[in-house]
Structure 1
Amino acid sequence: MSPLAWIALTSLAAWLWLLLGQGFFWRTDQRLPRWTAPAHWPSVVIVVPARDEAGVLPESLPSLLRQSYPGRAAVVLVDDGSTDGTGELARKLGEQGEGLPLTVTSPGDPEPGWTGKLWALRHGIELARASGPDYLLLTDADIAHEPDSLRELVAAATANGLALVSQMARLRVATGWERLVVPAFVYFFAQLYPFRWVNREPARATAAAGGCVLLRTEVAERAGIPESVRHAVIDDVAVARAVRRAGGRVWLGLAERVESVRPYPRLADLWRMVSRSAYTQLRYSPLLLAGTVFGLAVAYLVPPVAVCAAVVPGVPGGPGSAVAGWAGLLAWAVMAGTYVPVLRYYRQTLWLAPLLPFTALLYLLMTVDSAVRHRRGRGAAWKGRTYSRPEAAPDR
């Protein structure tokens, strides 16, 4: 057989293993566990770090203030050095009607060794702890919640003995680039951290989605959050690991009533979202980068190349490479089939499934670009701040 045939068979074997041996990552059935209402509803403070979020705050903040929660709850918005009037806008939104009490505060510039978001969370959590809440809901400023979201999160946590409950918010999918790239973001995240592996005991993976994290205050204090993860760029995974090290149970799933309202209309916007932390995920390792590029190429790019080589006249290894063609076609079919549940979750056309190799190529290029940025000292740039090479969160 030709070298291409062997590589295509390797790709097919990899996809069969991913289909059955990677925690059924492609399924979308990990939703909030069943719950019953507690006899006494715990107190909660919602902490929202916000930096230059005036464009999305009118959609997200009112959804938090209107939470129909039976217990005591309040909202703390931390204005993290915004230059677009985020703090003033938040105060006006809080004065427009009845709802949960809102406190708007600002921590000043981050101290050395802190990433901006975690510095804002530190200030907000300290302020929240003054009222002694049982739980903290850490949610991003672009996340909108249905009115019963907080009630369901707390009930699921109390009924199942969970120290951390995190939902991956349904991201905005409106433009062509968002349809092509956003569902794949969730797909790749679940492939890296299969939700079933996170939620089982004992766990085989640990992760959270930073846009929506309900955290038991007592466990957060025991885990030293946020001080113990102050260096982390990928703060959600770092927080989940700290909670698990402190003996708390972690749950992660897809959201039904929590959505991101942040638009990513251009490919450049999506590119920045992915590339700012991709190399951090690889622990700034050139070896891990090379392995990732190789793995993505074999798994996602080889199948369509093998099919084209088998059917297109004049292509090297053409009509004689039937083995490569069939192996590539089967691998491509398995790949597309595992992508279908995520597309359905996002209510997108299933014709996007065969385009996953092209989307994977974009993610491959974003990852390489992330490494190049770090090598050039530009690191994880976000809203005017650059973290050239922050220390990765401890994994022990």
Structure 2
Amino acid sequence: KKFRLRTDHMALTYIQQCKNQTSRLMRWSLKIQEYEFSIEHVKGHMNAADMLSRIYNINSISKDVINQTNKNEILREYHNMLGHGSPSNMNFNIRKNYNWPGLTKDIQTFCDKCLICQKEGYEAINTKNKVIETKETDELWEIDLIGPIGNGKNKGYVVIIIDHFSKWVSTEIITNKTDSMVLDVINKAMLVNGKCPKRILVDCGKEFENDMLKEMVQKKNIKLDFASPKHHKTTGAVERVIKTFRNKLRKICEFKQENWKKYVEKTTFAINTSYHRAIRTSPYILKFGKMPRLEVDEKNKVTVKVEDKEKLLETIRKYREKYNKTIEKGRRKRSIEFKDGEKVLLFRKANNKMQANWIPGYRIIKRINHDAYQIRKGNRLIRANKIHLKRQV
């Protein structure tokens, strides 16, 4: 049926008249030839949007609700849920339920001003890694231990298990890293998961390299692989999770190790709800198809969006297909310069695993050379390389 197309897009009116068409215009012309229509240009001020184009979204929170107090409450709750999450993680999670002008900037400012976040972090190291490829959940589990954490009766270890494809993390606290305790944790993880992995990758620790574990995997038809000695990059996925886990655990318990055990579950939840670049979403959403519902969401009556898991899996497959031959390279840090009088944090590797690596309260006194500065805290005057300094907001 013939119809008339009215538009304020002047260039579109020439698609049926242009003689010397480019290849792209030619393809579009061929595409629309099956339709019988005429194009009529309408001036912009005469082409106002109709009511349906401006229909009010009843599921969104009104602008009056998102005042500055509510913004701070939302930012604080999501920041804490994600274990003092990064701006990108907060942006990913908050935008599932909220949106307001300047949201990205507000998130960045909130994170920059968090002193706990400023006190945490490591030095950046350039690396060149060989990529391990997996195509489905439970194809490969990487397992390792963190610890010992704490001392005396509070001393313990955390067994970390990560599914290489979905990036889902499971943790369990054990008092000693004996082969029997570690084996119990692995068996429990398989029971909770409802399925055994096809392959397990571990390091050469005695808690893994023993007859009990070898006998178990043989019975369950699981392939057991060991990483190269003293080469942690072989188990890169779990090593990276361990680094993230330590960072978040320290921040969640505010660098106090007395009650660290009660924060392990919260830390694991924070990791699983954080955005992961390798899967283009969070492990929680990939597993359950939706975001967890927080107290602030209940308060604001937010409807949790349900994701299409098949589309998520297809996105992961396409992304990995595109980059399956790419070797990840470490990024070089941008050159950072400091001015006299600026407040900075000083990096000092903490002996205690639950203490902060960055110490606040220093000020730049002067620049000694291209890479070194003289800094002061109280009566202490020291020299520091700029890679061990970062601005305190």
TM-score using structure 1 length:
0.24
More strand by share: 2
Mark the structure with the bigger radius of gyration. Answer: 2
Which structure has more relative contact order (CA 8 Å, sep 6+)? It is 1
Q: TM-score, normalised by structure 2?
A: 0.24
